[in-house]
Every structure is written in structure tokens, then in C-alpha cells.
Structure 1
Amino acid sequence: MSAEALSRSQIAEMLEAYRTGVPVETICARFEVNRATLYEARALYGELHAPLVHARATASGEEELSLMKRAVAELLLDNAILRMHVQRRERY
């Protein structure tokens, strides 16, 4: 399994285990990855010191960001409709 195939929480947990000194063989067996994948994840994501709680908070933050983007898109659409309406009124 490659580092990209793992979820953020799995990567965070795997790197946290590595940081705390759990043997590499144990981490690889637990997450069913090879040593290269562990080191690839470490290279891609650095020495991730965030606990799993932070990873979960990031997921809820991404959900909130998605809602905000949707709200902005709706407001932009409303703005465009109002501008079209004003332009039509100016013609008459």
C-alpha cells in the first residue's frame, strides 16, 4: 500500500507511532505497509507531531470549508442575478 492510499488519520497514527519509538517492523505489520511506504510517508508529510485529535479536527475543518465555499458560490450567483436585473432596468 502506498502512502497516498492511507487516510490522514492512518498516516498521523503511523507517524506518531514512529516518533514515539515503536519499532518499524511493528508499524509496518500493523498498517500492512512496507518500510519504503513508511519512509515515503515520513518524507511526504514530515515529522507529523499532531495527535489524532488534530487529524479529526482537520477533517471537520475541511467540512466547514466546503460549506463556506458553497455559501460563497451561492452569494456570487445571487450577485450576478442582481447585476443582470439592474442592467435590464437601465435599458428601459
Structure 2
Amino acid sequence: MKAYGDFTQKVRDEGKLVAGDALQGVETATTVSVRNGKTETIDGPFAETKEQLGGYYLLDCKDLDEAIEYAAMIPTADYGRIEVRPIVVWDN
């Protein structure tokens, strides 16, 4: 956890951190869908997979290369995988 704290402080200090939080385990998930106007809920995650999203960082990076540099600093990158995605910018 110290490594995550150190990374979080680094991106905060560098002005890159927009948001981020750890997520509770998949056993706490509720999946919601609407079918024929009726809201349905299912206890558990959307997909049954071995991999789990443990949290997220939303960083303000200038481009994909910079985002990859920061993603490589996240402690999980040493033994798992980090997914990098741009946010959608809606033009009004």
C-alpha cells in the first residue's frame, strides 16, 4: 500500500491527478440493467473473470506516451496489468 501512496503523492505533486479511488471487491457489486422499462439488479459483477478492477486513476496527461509512462509506475504493473484509456470529450 505504501507504493500506491507514493505513486498517488507523485501524480498529485506533479499536477497530474484529476481523480482516483480504490474500489471494494467484486463481492460488493450490483449489476443494473433496464429491460422493457423495468430495472433489474443482479448481485455480483457484470462479467465473471479472474481479473478485477481494484481502482482507478484519472490523470491529465498530454498524450498516450505520457499516460503509458505513468501507468508503468503503478505498483500493479509489476505483476498484473494496467489498462490505459482516454476519456470521451463530448463536443457541444
Q: Which has the higher helix share?
A: 1
User: Which TM-score band applies after superposition, normalised by the shorter structure?
Assistant: under 0.3
The structure richer in strand per residue is 2
Largest Rg, 1 or 2: 1
TM superposition score normalised by structure 2 = 0.22
